[in-house]
Structure 1
Amino acid sequence: MVIELARRMAASAEGLTLDEMARESGVGRRTAERMRDAVLALYPAAEEVSDPPTKRWRIRGGLSAFEQAPTTTELVELSKAAQGLRAAGEPGRAAALEGLERKLKSAMRSTTLNRLAPDLEALVRAETIAVQAGPRPSADEAVLAEIRQAILAGQPLGFIYSRPGAEARRRSVAPCGVMFGRANYLVAADRESGRIQTFRLDRMSAVRAEDGVAAPPPDFDLQAFASQSFGIYQDEIEDVVLRVTPGGAAEARAWRWHPTQTVEDRPDGGVEVRFRASGMRELAWHLFSWGDQVQIVAPARLKAVMAAELAAAQAALERA
C-alpha cells in the first residue's frame, strides 16, 4: 500500500492531501498519516506543498522504472480494452491504447518484459471480448481531435449536422464533453439559449473549432447529465417502477439498471425496481429482452412507448 500511495503522489501534479490519501487508499486518516510518513522516509524526492488551509504532498520527478513496471494483469486489461474498442468499431481509440501499451513495454527493463511475456501471451490468447449485436459507434479521429481542441481552448465548435428526414444545418455550440456508448454523442450547450443538447458524432461533418470563447455552463456536470438517461437519448425525466417476476428476480438484483436505482424484495419472491431516468424508448427496447418477466408499473408514457413499439414490431411481422 505504501508503494501504491507513492505512485499516486508521483502521478499527481498538485499533490495529495491526507484526506485524499485516506479516501483513495480506503483507510482511516491515522493510517494515511503513517503511510505518508513511510513514503517520506523511502523517497527523498517527496515534498510538502502548502495549499491553505490544507497541505499536500507529492513526489517530483516520478518513480524509477522498476517501481513503475506494470503487472501482467494490468497489461492484459489494457490489451483487452484496446481489443474491445477495435471490435466495437472504434479503431482510433483502440490505436491510442495500443500506442500506450507499446510505450509501457518499451520503457520496461528487458529482464522484466521477458519474465512477463509468457504469461501475458497466454492470457491474451485465453481471454477475448464478446461483441454483442447493436449499432457500431463512430468516433472519427479528426472529429474527436477538433472537439477536444475546442473543449481545451474554450472555443465554439462549428459543424454541419444531418439527421434522417431533416435538412442538414450548420450549428455552432459550446462543447461540454463526449459520451461514448452504443452510439457516440457530443454534449454541447446552445450558444443562444444555453440549452444542453446531444449530437451523434457520425452525423456531424465539417467539424471545426471556431474563433471566440464558448464555455459550458458553470454548473454543468457531464457525469450527472449522462446519468439522467437510461441510455444516451435525453428527454423528460420520469419516475420508473418495474416489477420483476420471481423467475427473473435473481438476475434483476444483479442487474445495473440505473445509477439512481433501488431494488426491493416483494412478498411473492419477485422484486420491484425504481429509478429516475429519461430515454423511455431505449428503456422499452431493453425491456423486450426480459420477455414476460417484467411488468411496467410506471410511468404511463413508458407503457405507451412499449405498446407503440410492440405494434410496430407486429406490423412489420405481418408484412413479412
Structure 2
Amino acid sequence: MRHDKAALILDLARRLAASSEGLSLDDMARDLAVSRRTAERMRDAVLMMFPAVEEVSDPPHKRWRIRGGLSAFEQAPTASELVELAKAASGLRLSGEPGRAAALEGLERKIKSAMRSTTLNRLAPDLEALVRAETIAVQAGPRPTADEAELTPIRHAVLAERPLGFVYSRPGAPSRRRIVTPCGLMFGRANYLVAADRDSGRIQTFRLDRMSAITVEEGTARPPEGFDLQAFASRSFGIYQDEVEHVELLITPEGADEARAWRWHPTQTFEDQPDGSVRVRFTASGMRELAWHLFTWGHQVRILAPDRLKTAMAEALDAAKAALG
C-alpha cells in the first residue's frame, strides 16, 4: 500500500475514533475530499485494520465509529502539529489573551504527557529547531482581552441556555445593566459577545472589555431559531454589523495580483479586466471598517459601489485631514 493511501486510512481511523455519533460514507467522502466509492474502499480497509470499528444504525444512513479510541502509537502527533499548537498559544499570549493561551498550553502538556518517552525524545530536536525558526509578527491594533473570569460564565450561559447579565460601559454613555440571550463569542482584533435582545430578538454585539459584573441569570434563553453564528460573523467585512451592501471595487493593474490573493470576504468574486486591473465584488456590512482597510491600498483601489462606502471613505479622509491640524 502506498504511503499516501496508508496515511489517509489512518486519518480516517482517527476521525472515526474522534466522532461520538460516527461518520456516514458521505461524511467520509466530504471530510477527506474523495469520491464516495473511494470512501467505501477506505472504510473497508479501516474495518480490516481496526476490529473495534462498530456500525451505528441511523436510518436511512449507516454510520461507523471506533469506540475506546486508538493506541498511543496510532495517535502520536508530528513535530509540525506540536509546533503549530505552541505557535497558536504563543500568538494568543502575545496578543494579550493569557486565558486562552493557557488553555492551549495545558492541552500541549496533556498531549506530551500521554506520549511515549521514546517518541517525545525523537521529536524533541525537531521541535526545538522549528520553535527557534518560526515566530509570530504582532501587528498594531486593538489589544483584545478575554480572561477566564469573563469567558467562564458566558460559556456556561450559552451551554445551559440561560440569560446572561452584565454591566455595559460605552465611551460617552452611562453604564447600564443588560440581560440578554447569549448566542456565542467572536474572537478577533477585539473580542465580542454575540447576543439577542430578549424583547425584540435583534442580534447585537458587545465588546468583552466593556463588560463587567457578568452573571448567569435564572430562566431559559435560547438563541433565535435557525441562528448561525458563523453566518452572522461572515456578513460583515469586520466586526461591525449594519446594513448589508453589494460592494464593487476596481483594483489597478499594479495591485491586481495582491488583490486576487487577498481574502476580502467569503462571498468574493473576481473579474479580470482587459487592462490588467481586477474587479472585486462581495456582499457585506461594515462599511466603516472596509473604508479603514481601503486606506492601506492607497491609489490602487477605486470604489465603484456602494455610495455608503464612498461616504464612509470621504468621512474617514476628512477625519484624517483634521488630525493633521
- TM interval, shorter chain, is over 0.9
Cα deviation, residue 192, structure 1: 0.5
- Matched with 1:251 is 258
- Matched with 2:21 is 14
Q: How many residues align?
A: 318
Cα deviation, residue 314, structure 1: 0.5
Which of 251, 275, 281 does residue 288 from structure 2 map onto? 281
CA distance, structure 1, for counterparts of residue 174 and residue 70 of structure 2: 55
- Matched with 1:92 is 99
Which of 210, 215, 221 does residue 222 from structure 2 map onto? 215
Which of 232, 238, 261 does residue 239 from structure 2 map onto? 232
Q: Given the alignment of the two structures, is residue 78 of structure 1 paired with residue 62 of structure 2, yes or no?
A: no
- Matched with 2:197 is 190
Cα deviation, residue 195, structure 1: 0.4
Residues 259-288 of structure 1, C-alpha deviations (whole Å, 9 max, x = no match): 111111112111111111111110011001
Which of 271, 293, 301 does residue 300 from structure 2 map onto? 293
Question: Which residue identity is paired with 2:153?
Answer: E
**In 1, are the aligned partners of 2:166 and 2:179 still within 8 Å (CA)?**
yes
Q: Given the alignment of the two structures, is residue 135 of structure 1 paired with residue 132 of structure 2, yes or no?
A: no
Question: Which residue identity is paired with 1:286?
Answer: H
CA distance, structure 2, for counterparts of residue 247 and residue 31 of structure 1: 44
Residue ranges of structure 1 left out of the alignment (5+ in a row): none
CA distance, structure 2, for counterparts of residue 271 and residue 139 of structure 1: 39
**In 1, are the aligned partners of 2:251 and 2:300 still within 8 Å (CA)?**
yes
CA distance, structure 2, for counterparts of residue 294 and residue 160 of structure 1: 42
- Matched with 2:207 is 200
Identity of aligned residues (%): 77
Cα deviation, residue 166, structure 1: 0.6
How does the TM-score come out when normalised to structure 1?
A: 0.98
Report the 3-state secondary structure (helix = DSSP H, G, I; strand = E; otherwise coil) of the residue aligned with 1:194. Answer: coil
Cα deviation, residue 44, structure 1: 1.4
Cα deviation, residue 140, structure 1: 1.9
What RMSD in Å do the two structures reach over aligned CA positions? 0.7
Cα deviation, residue 53, structure 1: 1.0
CA distance, structure 2, for counterparts of residue 289 and residue 163 of structure 1: 28
Cα deviation, residue 123, structure 1: 0.2
Report the 3-state secondary structure (helix = DSSP H, G, I; strand = E; otherwise coil) of the residue aligned with 1:289. Answer: helix
Residue ranges of structure 2 left out of the alignment (5+ in a row): 1-7
Show the 5 A alignment for 1:117-128: 117-128=124-135
Residues 37-57 of structure 1, C-alpha deviations (whole Å, 9 max, x = no match): 111111111100111111110
**In 1, are the aligned partners of 2:100 and 2:147 still within 8 Å (CA)?**
no
- Matched with 1:241 is 248
CA distance, structure 2, for counterparts of residue 130 and residue 156 of structure 1: 38
Cα deviation, residue 142, structure 1: 1.1
Moved over 2 A (4+): none
Residues 196-227 of structure 1, C-alpha deviations (whole Å, 9 max, x = no match): 00000000001111110001011101011001
